[in-house]
Chain A
C-alpha cells in the first residue's frame, strides 16, 4: 500500500509540473501582458514602461524558471493586476470556492444516490421515469439561466434568500443548488445503472434467498459494489466544480477563485493564473487519489498497486 501511495504521489507531482508549464506557455502566447496591465486607455509609452518594469522582454523559459523557483519556496509572487501578494489575494477567495464545491457535491450526492437506488429498485415506475426526466432536464438547463430564475423566485418574489454576496450561509443556498444540480444527472444515472446490474447478479439473489431485509440487501451489499464508479465520478465532478464554478460565482457575485481565475486570464495576470492552476490541479489530483483510496477500501480487490 505504501509503494502504491508513493508511486501515485510521484505521478501527481509530474502531472502538476507539466500542467504548470503548459499553462504558463499558453498564457504567455495569448497576448501582450503589458497591454493588459496598462489598460485599454494606455498609450504606447505607458506600455513600454510596463514592459521594462516587469521584465516581459526576457525569454519565456527564463520567466518560467523565475516563477518556478519562487513557487517551490512558497512564494507565489505578486499579482500583476492587484497590488498584493498572490497568496493574500487567493486565500479567502479559494475558501469561498471550496465551500461552494463541497456543499454542491454533497447536495448532488445526497439527491442523486438515493434517487438512483430508488430508480433501480423500481425500474420503469414513476420514480424511475422522474429520475430520468430530472437527469435530462438537469443537463439541458443552462446554469446562468437557472441561477437567475432561482434569484427571481427565491430572492425577489419570496424574499427568502439573498441574491448576491457571500457573507452568510444563506448566501450559499442558491449557488449550491445551481452548481450541484449540474453534477446530479451523471451521478444518478451511473448509480442507477450500476445498481440495476448488481441487483440482477447471483449473490444478491442469494442474499434475498437468505431472507435478509431489503434495506440491508440494497445498501450493504448492492450499493457498496455499485458505488465504486460513482466514487471516481464524484471525484472528477468535484474537480470540475472547483474549476467550473465561474458561472455560478459570477451570477451570485460570490468573489470566489473561479471568477478570479477567469478574470486573471482576461487580464493576463500570469502569477495569479499560475498559482490558481497549480492549486486546482493539486486538488484535482488529491481528490482522484482519495477516490482511489476509498475505492480500494470498498473493494479489496482494487488494493493491488
Chain B
C-alpha cells in the first residue's frame, strides 16, 4: 500500500489548481463510503457506515450529547427508572414518521419486541439482548423491561436502539426496510441501490429534537471502494466530504489548504496486544510468564509508532480502553520504553537468548510490522501471520494464537463494559481468565451504582496492568477532509452526524 501511495503522491503532485464544482449551488452534500453496506436496516448491519445512516434517518428515545456526555430526551420527553430493570418513558407527541405514520407507544413496543426476539436474527444481538420486552401503558407512555440491571442502558437507548414504525415494519419487515427505509430522523430516504448508492433529503417535518434540524437539502452517498478515486472525485467536485483518509494522503491534502480543510479527530477504537497468559495455546509457553509479558510491554516504543505511523490526534493509552469511556482508568501502572530492561526480564524468566513465537494481526500491517520490529530487537523472533479478521478470530477461539495485535471500537459506546466486559469476563476471547478480574468486571457490568462501578473497573485495570495481560497501545484517529464550502466539526467517537453539516 505504501508503494501505491507513493505513486499516487506523484500523480497528485502533477495536478494544477482546478476549480471545484459548487455543490452548495444545488444544496447537495456528496459523501462516499469505501465499504458496501449490507443492509440499510439498522438492526441488520454491523458496520460503521450503518451507524452514520442510522443517526440520519432514525431517532432513539434518548439522546447523548457528544461533547458533554449529557443524556436528554429525543423521542421521549421524560423517563423514570421504576426499579433496576424497568424504565418508563413519556413519549413526545406530534412526531410523525417519513411516511406519515404517527409515532406512539405501539411503535416502541413493536420495535423492541421484534428486535429482542432471537428468531428475527438481528445482526448485533448484544445491542438489544439486554432488553426483555416493552409494554404499552397508554398511547404516549411505554415501559421497557430489562433482563437484568444493565449499567449502560441509557447509552444504548440514546444510540443503537432506534424506533421503527410498527405498521410499516410489520408489513414489509427487514427486507422492505432495506429497500425503502422509513424513520423519524432529520433526513428521509429517497432512493436506495443496495450497496451502491443512497439519496437522502431533508425531513421538513422533523420534530424539535436535540439532534437539531438538518441544514443541507440533499445528501448523496456513493460507494467508491478506492480511496484514491475518492480523492480524485474530491478534486473534481464530485465529493464534498471524505472520511477515514489514510494519514499520508491527509497530510498531502492538508497542504492544499486553500481548497480543503483537513480535520483530525480521535476515534473510540484502540489498538492493543493480547497474549495467551492463561496458557491455552501452550501451558508452559513464554506468554504464561508475567516477566515475559512485562518485557514485551517494555520492549515497544509506543510513542514512536504513534508519531511515525498512526499520527493525527492519536495518543498512547495505558489501559485497554478509550479515554472518553466511563470506567477507563488510565492512572494504572505503565511500562516505559526500555529495551535493556526488557532483555533483563526475559533473562530472568529463563529466556536469555529470547524465543520464537507466532505473531498474528488482521489489519494495519505497517503497525504490526513496527511492533514486531521492536520485539525482534530484544531477541523475540516473530513469525508473522497476517489473516482476515474472520480467520484470525476463528484461530483464537481454537486456542491457536499466542500473541496478536488487535483493535476494538466498542461500537462507539462510551462505557468500558463494551470492551473490558467483552474481553475479561471468561469468554472465548479472554486470554487471561483471571478469576479476580472476572468477578470484578462481571459485577461492574451488572450494577448501576456509578461510584462502585468505577471502583471495580479501576481494580480490574490495575491488575491487568500489573500482570501485563495486554499491552495497551494507542487510540485510533480519523482524518476528515472537507471542501471549503462545508462546515462540520467531527466528534471524538467517529460518528458522522448528517444533521450537523452546513454550508459556510
Contact = CB atoms under 8 A, between A and B. Distances in A.
Contact of B39 (A53, A83, A165, A252): A83
B36 A263 contact: yes
Contact of A151 (B121, B232, B409): B232
Given A145-B4, A156-B236, A251-B226, 12 more contacts: A32-B391, A36-B388, A38-B46, A39-B45, A39-B47, A40-B389, A42-B123, A83-B178, A148-B7, A164-B238, A250-B226, A255-B195
Interface stretch (B8-16, B301-309, B344-352, B477-485): B8-16
Given A152-B14, A157-B15, A163 B223 contact: no
8 contacts: A30-B391, A39-B47, A42-B123, A43-B125, A49-B118, A145-B7, A152-B14, A162-B238
Interface string A206-235: 000000000000000000000000000000
A38 B123 contact: yes
Given A145-B7, A164-B233, A35 B390 contact: yes
B195 A31 contact: no
A272 B250 CA distance: 35
Contact of A42 (B39, B46, B178): B46
A289 interface: no
B152 interface: no
Contacts of B103: none
Nearest to B19: A159
Given A81-B38, A149-B11, A253-B229, A41 B46 contact: yes
A64 interface: no
Contacts of A250: 225-226
B126 A46 contact: yes
Interface-centre pick from A37, A145, A152, A259 (highest chain B CB count, 10 A): A152
A57 interface: no
Interface stretch (B422-430, B447-455, B465-473): B422-430
A30 B387 CA distance: 10
A155 interface: yes
Contacts of B388: 30-31, 36, 266
A89 interface: yes
B124 A39 contact: yes
Interface string B214-229: 0000000011111011
Q: Chain A contact residues (Cβ within 8 angstroms of B): what range?
A: 35 or more
B126 A43 contact: yes
A202 interface: no
B21 to A, nearest CB: 10
Interface string A43-85: 1111001100100000000000000000000000000011110
Given A42-B46, A83-B44, A148-B228, A156 B235 contact: yes
Contacts of B402: none
Contact of B224 (A36, A152, A164): A164
Contacts of A255: 195-196, 223
Nearest to A81: B38
Nearest to B410: A41
B394 A156 contact: no
A194 interface: no
A131 B129 CA distance: 66
B390 A32 contact: yes
Contacts of B411: 41
A28 interface: no
A287 interface: no
Contacts of B118: 49
Nearest to B38: A81
**What are the 3 A-B residue pairs with the smallest beta carbon separation, nearest first?**
A39-B46, A31-B391, A35-B390
A30 to B, nearest CB: 7
A103 interface: no
A33 interface: yes
Interface in B93-141: 118, 121, 123-126, 129
A168 B388 CA distance: 36
B393 A35 contact: yes
A142 B4 CA distance: 10
Interface string A18-34: 00000000000011110
Contacts of A144: 4, 226
Contact of B126 (A30, A45, A81): A45
Contact of A157 (B16, B45, B175, B394): B16
Contacts of A165: 222
B184 to A, nearest CB: 22
B41 interface: yes
Interface in B363-393: 388-391, 393
A244 to B, nearest CB: 16
A255 B18 CA distance: 27
A95 B389 CA distance: 31
B195 A83 contact: no
B323 interface: no
B5 to A, nearest CB: 11
B174 interface: yes
Contacts of B170: none
A82 B194 contact: yes
A268 interface: yes
Nearest to B412: A41
Contacts of A149: 11
Given A31-B388, A152-B11, A163 B229 contact: yes
A29 B178 CA distance: 31
A49 B129 CA distance: 12
A162 B232 CA distance: 10
A32 B395 CA distance: 9
A272 B192 CA distance: 20
A49 B121 contact: yes
A83 B41 contact: yes
A266 B174 CA distance: 24
A45 B226 contact: no
Contact of A46 (B4, B125, B224): B125
Interface string A184-219: 000000000000000000000000000000000000
Interface in B201-254: 222-226, 228-229, 232-233, 235-236, 238
